[in-house]
Amino acid sequence: QLHLLESGPGLVKPSETLSLTCTLSGGSMTTTPHFWGWIRQPPGKGLEWLGSISYSGNSYQNPSLRGRLTISVDTSKRQFSLELASVTAADTAVYYCSRHAGEYVVHPSDLWGQGALVTVSS
Amino acid sequence: SYVLTQPPSVSVAPGKTAKIACGGNNIGTKSVHWYQQKPAQAPLLVIYDESDRPSGIPDRFSGSNSGNTATLTISSVEAGDEADYYCQVWDSNTDHYVFGTGTKVTVL
What's residue A66's pLDDT? 81
> Reduced to 3 DSSP states, what percent helix, strand and coil does chain A have, rounded to the nearest 5?
5, 50, 45
Which residue of chain B is at minimal alpha-carbon distance from A49?
B97
What's residue B80's pLDDT? 97
Question: Is B2 touching A (CB cutoff 8 A)?
Answer: no
What's residue A67's pLDDT? 86
Which positions in chain B touch A52 (Cβ < 8 Å)? 97
Nearest in space to A85 (alpha carbons), one of A8, A18, A24: A18
User: Which of B97, B98, B99, B103 to mutate: most A Cβ within 10 Å?
Assistant: B97
Burial code (b: 16+ CB inside 10 Å, e: under 16) for B53-82 equals beeebeebbbbebeeeebbbebeebeeebb
Give the closest of A60, A110, A114 to B45, CB-based. Answer: A110
- What are the angstrom distances between the C-alpha of A77 and each of A22, B20, B102? 10, 40, 35
- What are the angstrom distances between the C-alpha of B98 and each of A16, A77, B10? 27, 30, 21
pLDDT, tens digit, 9 for 90 and up, residues A56-99? 899 999 999 988 999 999 999 999 999 999 999 999 999 999 99
Nearest in space to A2 (alpha carbons), one of A110, A115, A74: A110
Give the closest of B1, B49, B101 to A46, CB-based. Answer: B101
